[in-house]
Structure 1
Amino acid sequence: MVPTYAWLWTLLAFILTWIVFHLIKRKKTAAEEAEADTEERRDGVADVIIVGAGVAGSALAYALAKDGRRVHVIERDLKEPQRFMGELMQAGGRLKLAQLGLEDCLKEIDAQESHSLAIYKDGKHGTLYYPSSTKFPYEPQGRFLRNGRLVQRLRKKAASLANVQLEEGTVKSLIEEKGMVKGVTYKNSAGEEITAFAPLTVVCDGCYSNLRRSAIDNKEEVLSHFVGFVVKNSRLEDPHSMHLTFCKPFPCVIYQITSDEVRVAAELPADSIPSMANGDMVNFLKKTVAPQIPETGKLRETLLKGVDEGLQEVKIHATMSMSAKPCDKKGVIVLGDAFNMRHPIIASGMMVALSDVLIIRNLLRSLPNIGNTKKVSKLIKSFYIIRKPMAATVNTLAAVFSQVLIATTDEAREGMRQGCFNYLCSGGFRTTGMMAILGGMNPRPLTLVLHLVAITLTSMGYLLSPFPSPRRFWHSLRTFALALKMLGAHLVDEGFKEMLIPTNAAAYRRNYMATASD
C-alpha cells in the first residue's frame, strides 16, 4: 500500500508542478506581449515602413493606412515611371483592386478595355475571350494601360490619407539587431542620411531591388530581353485584344495602351541583342519580325510605322524569373518583383502582387498593433501558404508558356508549339478554361496541370498525324518527356502539395475571390 500511495503522490506532484509551470509561462508570455504592445504605442514612430512606391508598395500603404496603421513610404523617384512592363491589368487583378478599394485608380488614365487574346501562327489565327462565368464575381475584363499613370494614381490615393508619409529617398540598408529588422537607413532628397524605425519593414523596390539579398537568399535568372516601343497616333482595328504572334524564334506582342498609342514588344535572346546604335535593331524589326506579323488588323502596318518614326520611347528590358522563398528574418516582408518574378508573356505580375497585398492586409487586421514580433512572424509564415494558389498557378503558366513559344528546329518542341496553338484555338472548355486561368479568374494549380496534360496529348496527336510512323512516334514520346520536365520542375519548385491538392485553392477562392471591398 505504501508504494502505491507514494506513486500517487509523485504523480500528483508532477501534475501540479506542470500546471504551475504552464501558468507561469503563459503569464510571462502575456506580459511580454503587453510590454511589446505598450512599447510600440509609446514609441510614436510608424507602424510600417514600405520601401518602394510602385503598384505593390502604394497599394499596401493605402490598405494598411485605411486600417489605421501609420505608414512611412520611401520611394527612390516620385516622378512618373517610364516602363513598358506591367501594362495589362488582368481581370483577376481588377478584382483585387476592387477588394482593396482602389478600383477608381484605373479611371482617368485613358486605360483601354481588354476582352481577349488574339494569337497568330503561320497564317492562322484565333481569338480567345475571357469567359463570362457566374463563378467569377467581377466583370471579366482586363485593362491595357500606361503603367506609370497607374502608379501615380495609386501613390496619390495613398498619400491622400493623413497617416501615410510618402517621401522621396534612397534606402541604403536595413537596420538589424540580433537577426531582427528594426528599420532602414536612407538618404532623403536633400542628401541627408536618416534612420527610420518601425516594427515592420516591407521591401517592395522592384526587380532590381537593392535590399533583396539582405532579406532573403534568392537570385534572379535572366531568361531573355524584350525590346518595346510606342507607336503614337495609332489605333488597332481590334484595340481590345492582346495580339500575340508566334514569331520565330521568339514571340511578338502588340496592344493598345491608350486611345491613340500602341505598344509593340518583341522578345530577344538573352545573349544576342541587336545594337540600337548601328541600326541592327531597326533591321531586325523590319526584316525578321515584321514579315511574320499578320497584315490583318493593322498589326504589321503599325509596327512598321513605329520603326519608320524612329522607335519612340524604345526600351530594352530583361525578362527575369525568381521563385519565391520565405524570409527567415523577423520584422521584414519582401513583396512584388523583389520577392517573386516570372516571365512577363502572360502579363500577370501586378495581379500576383495585388493578391499578396490583400493577403498581408487581411492577416495584419487581426492584430491590434504590429509591435508583437512573434505574432507578426507567425502571420507571415501563413502568408507564404495562403498565396500559393494564385502565385503557383501564374508562375507555372508563365514558365511553361514562355518555353513553348520559342521556335526551334527540334521536331518534338515544334510539335508542342503547334499543339499549344491548336489547343488554345479549339474553343469550348479548353479555350475558356485556359483564359480563366490566364486572367486570374480561376487560380487553381491542379486545373492548370490538367490543361497542360491535355495540351501535351494534343501535341502528341499532332505529331502522330496522319499516321504513326516510327519517327513520329519517337518525337511524340520526346514531347511527352519535355512536358514532364517542364512541369516537373515547377511541381518541385512550388510544392507537390500546393500544386496537386486542391484544399488550399478552395480556401483561397472562398476568402479572396469576393467582389466587395472591405
Structure 2
Amino acid sequence: MSSSNAYDVLVVGAGIAGCSLAHGLSTIPRSKPLRICLLERSLSEPDRIVGELLQPGGVIALRKLGIEKCLEGIDAIPVKGYCVVEDGKSVEIPYPGRHEGRSFHHGKFIMALRAAAKEAKGVDVVEASATELVEQNGRVVGVKATKLGEKEEYRADLVVVADGCFSNFRTAVMGSSIGKTVTRSHFVGAILEDASLPIPNHGTVALVKGFGPVLLYQIGEHDTRILIDVKAPLPPDLKSHILDHIVPQLPPILQQPIRIALDKDRLRRMPNSFLPAVSQGTTTKPGVFLLGDSWNMRHPLTGGGMTVALNDVVILRSLLANVDLRQWSEIQKVLRTWHWSRKPLASTVNILSVALYDLFGADDEDLKVLRTGCFKYFERGGECVNGPVSLLSGIAPSPLLLASHFFAVAFYSIWVMFTHPGQVGTIKGQPVYARPPLHHYPALFFKGIRVFWTACVVFGPLLWSEIRWWAPNENVKSSSTIAGFLLGLVAIGWMIYGAVDALG
C-alpha cells in the first residue's frame, strides 16, 4: 500500500451522511489537520426517487456545518409546509415562523455535497468500489477496493461506513446485533411535468381509502415528484393498479398530469424500510462504525431521513474534535455519547414516521378512527398544527411532545367518534351522514377502548425501539412488544397534561 492511501479517517459512501461528515471533520480545529478519504463506488450523478425533500431541521443542520450553499444553483424549491388531502377536503399545515425546507432532485443535491467535500481541506474524494474490510490484530484498519479494475487498499485510524440503505457492510461491522430491516411497503415514483399542487410550495399528502398515502412535492421549476405507497406484496401490474385504484381518489387537478407521467415515465420503486438504531462501540468491530441509513432507517413518509443524518454529523463532528482516533477506547466513549445525544431528534422523527404511516395507511377499523381524528385534529389549527409540524420538520426534537400530541389525537379521535356525523348509509349512491344516536353510545364506548388500545400498541413498541440500546432478536420480540405497550401506558400518564392542554 502506498503512503498516499493512508489516512486519518476513511469514509465509505459519498452520500448525504458521508459527504457531510467528510466536510465536517475537515473543519475541526486540530494541531494537525486530518487527512480524510471519501470513497464512493461511482461519482456520477445518482438518480433516485427519495431523498428529495429536506425539512427545515435539515436546512439548519446544513447551516451549522457551513454547507448551506449546497442548496444553491440546483433549482431547489422552498417548502413552507404541508397540505393534507382527504375526500376532496384539505387542511394546510404550515411550518411555524419563517422556517422553510427545500425540495430538489436528489442527484443534484448529492453532486453539490460532493463538490463541497472536494473543496474541503485535507479531503480526497476517490472513485473506487469497497469490497471488504481490512483487519489487523482484531481491529479494522481500512478497506479493500477496486479502482479502475485494479485492487487497492485504503487504510485509516478510523473507518466510517455510510453506504446507505442497501449497505454491503452492515452485518460485517455489527454482526447479528444490528437487527433486521423491516419493509412493509414500497414507494412507487414518477415525475409530473408542470403540475399544480393544491397549495403551492407545500408538500401534499393525499390520503387514499383502502391504500397507502400519496406524496407530492415540487423538485424543480417544471418537475413535481409523486410517490405512491404500495403495500407488499406488490401487484403484478403496478401501472393498472395506480390508474384504477389510486388516481381516481386524488385531487382532479392532478389526475391528468399523473396519467401523462405514467405513459411517459418508467415507474420506479424504493423499499420503505425501518431499522432502529442500536448502540455502537461495544457491539461494533474495533476501528469502524456505521452512519446514516446503513445504521438507522425510518419510513420516508415524513421526509426526515436527511435531517436525521445531517444532525448526526453535527453532533459527531463536535464529539470527535479532540479525540485520538487511534485509541478505540476513546472512540467507544464518543459513540455512546453520540447514541444518546442524537435521540431527541432521531427518536422523534423515527417514531413519528412510522406512527403517521400506520394512521395514514390505515386498513384497520380502529386505525381508521385515528386517521379521521388526526385529520380533524389538524383542522383545529393553532397548537394542534404547530406542535405536530414542529416535530415533523425537525425544529422541536422532543419525544415527550410527540407523545403528548399522539395521545391527544387518540383522545380527540374518540371524541369525534361520539360527537361528529358519520356515514350511516347512502341514498341514490350518495353518502348520508348523521350523528350517532344515544343508543349507539354503549357500543361506541367499547370501540373507544379498542381505539385507545390500538393507539398504545402503535406508539408503545416504537418508543421502546428507541429507548433500548440493544437490538431485538426473535427470542425477545414478543416481550419487547408487551414492554412497549406498558411503556406506552406510562407515557400516557406523563403526557395527560400536555394532551389536555393541546385540546384546549
Q: TM-score, normalised by structure 2?
A: 0.84
- Flag the structure with larger Rg: 1
Task: Tell me which residue corresponds to 1:243.
Answer: 204
* In structure 1, distance between residues paired with 2:34 and 2:87: 55
Structure 1 position 262, deviation (Å): 1.0
Aligned pair count reads: 442
Q: Which moved more, 1:320-329 or 1:448-457?
A: 320-329
Stretches of structure 1 lacking an aligned partner (at least 5 in a row): 1-41, 133-138, 502-518
Offset of residue 274 of structure 1: 3.0
Question: 1:7 is matched with which residue?
Answer: none
What does the per-residue CA deviation read over 1:185-225, in whole Å, with 9 as the maximum and x for residues that have no partner? 1111x121112111110000000000000112222111101
Does the CA-based 8 Å contact 1:71-1:165 persist in structure 2? yes
Cα pair 2:198 2:204 within 8 Å, conserved: no
**Alignment partner of 1:323 is 2:276:** yes
Name the amino acid aligned to 2:466.
E
Q: 2:140 aligns with which of 152, 169, 181?
A: 181
Letter of the structure 1 residue corresponding to residue 349 of structure 2? V
Aligned to 1:203: 161
Contact 2:83 2:198 in 1 (8 A): no
Structure 1 counterpart of 2:377: 423
Q: Give, in angstroms, the shift of residue 299 of structure 1.
A: 2.3
In 1, the alpha carbon distance for the partners of 2:313 and 2:108 equals 20
Residue of 228, 236, 250 corresponding to 1:293: 250
The change in CA–CA distance for 1:426 and 1:378 in structure 2 (over 3 A counts) is: same
Matches of residues 374-389 of structure 1 in structure 2 within 5 Å? Answer: 374-389=329-344
Q: Does 1:442 find its partner at 2:382?
A: no
Structure 1 residue runs of 4 or more that deviate by more than 6 Å after TM superposition: 496-501
Code of the residue aligned with 1:289 in structure 2: it is I
Partner letter of residue 105 of structure 2?
R
Partners of 1:474 and 1:464 lie apart in 2 by: 12
Equivalent-residue separation in structure 1 for 2:371 and 2:360 (angstroms)? 6
* Whole-Å separation in 2 of the counterparts to 1:387 and 1:85: 23
- 1:463 CA drift (Å): 2.1
Counterpart-to-counterpart distance in 1, 2:5 and 2:301 = 45
User: Aligned with 1:174: secondary structure?
Assistant: strand
- Give the CA deviation at 1:491: 2.3
Please name the residue that 2:412 is paired with: 458
1:43 positional shift = 10
Answer yes or no: is 1:270 the counterpart of 2:232: yes
Identity, in percent, stands at: 33
Label 1:292 to 1:393 Cα distance change in 2 as closer, same or farther (>3 A): same
Give the drift of 1:237.
Answer: 5.9
Among candidates 174, 182, 185, match of residue 224 of structure 1:
185
CA distance in 2, matches of 1:422, 1:496: 33
Mapped to 2, the partners of 1:108 and 1:118 lie a distance apart of 27
Corresponding residue of 2:448: 476
3-state DSSP class of the match of 1:286? helix
- Residue 5 of structure 2 contacts residue 155 of structure 2 at CA under 8 Å; is this kept in 1? no
Partners of 2:459 and 2:219 in 1: CA distance: 33
Question: Separation in 2 of the partners of 1:44 and 1:90?
Answer: 37
Asked if 2 retains the 8 angstrom alpha-carbon contact of 1:235 and 1:259, the reply is no
- 3-state SS, counterpart of residue 117 of structure 1: strand
Deviation at 1:59, TM superposition (A): 0.6
Question: Is 1:332 aligned to residue 288 of structure 2?
Answer: yes
Q: Could you say which residue in structure 1 is the equivalent of 2:431?
A: none
- Structure 1 residues 348 and 490, CA gap change in structure 2 (3 angstroms): same
CA distance in 2, matches of 1:336, 1:459: 35
> In the alignment, what sits opposite 2:500?
none
Q: Which residue of 2 aligns with 1:253?
A: 215
Instruction: State the shift of 1:66 in Å.
Output: 2.1
Query: Does the 8 A contact of 2:12 with 2:161 survive in 1?
Result: yes
How far does residue 474 in structure 1 lie from its aligned partner after superposition? Answer: 1.6
**Residue number in structure 1 paired with 2:477:** none
1:176 is paired with a residue of what secondary structure? strand
Q: Which residue pairs with 1:153 in the alignment?
A: 112
Residue 261 of structure 2 is aligned with which of 294, 306, 310? Answer: 306
What residue in structure 1 maps to residue 475 of structure 2?
A: none
Q: Distance in 1 between matches of 2:166 and 2:322?
A: 32
Q: 2:11 aligns with which of 50, 62, 82?
A: 50
CA distance in 1, matches of 2:162, 2:6: 20
Q: 1:306 to 1:44 in 2, by over 3 A?
A: closer
Letter in 1 for 2:168: N
* Match runs of 1:54-93 below 5 Å: 54-67=15-28, 68-93=33-58
Q: Distance in 2 between matches of 1:233 and 1:476?
A: 45
Q: What does 1:87-126 align with in structure 2 at a 5 Å threshold?
A: 87-126=52-91
Instruction: Tell me, in whole angstroms, the C-alpha distance in 2 between the residues paired with 1:109 and 1:237.
Output: 24
Contact 2:358–2:367, Cα closer than 8 Å, also in 1: no
Report the alpha carbon displacement of residue 162 of structure 1 after superposing the two structures with TM: 4.1
Shift of 1:371: 2.2
Moved more, 119-128 or 432-441: 119-128
CA contact (8 A) 1:114 1:141 kept: yes
Q: Does the C-alpha gap of structure 1 residues 44 and 222 become closer, same or farther in structure 2, counting only changes over 3 Å?
A: closer
What residue identity is the alignment partner of 1:253?
Answer: L
Cα distance, 1:336 vs. partner? 0.7
Amino acid at match of 1:288: H
Give the conservation status (yes or no) of the 8 Å contact 2:189–2:228: yes
TM superposition shift of 1:426: 1.5
Whole-Å separation in 2 of the counterparts to 1:234 and 1:481: 41
Residue 414 of structure 1 aligns with which residue? 368
Letter paired with 2:309:
A
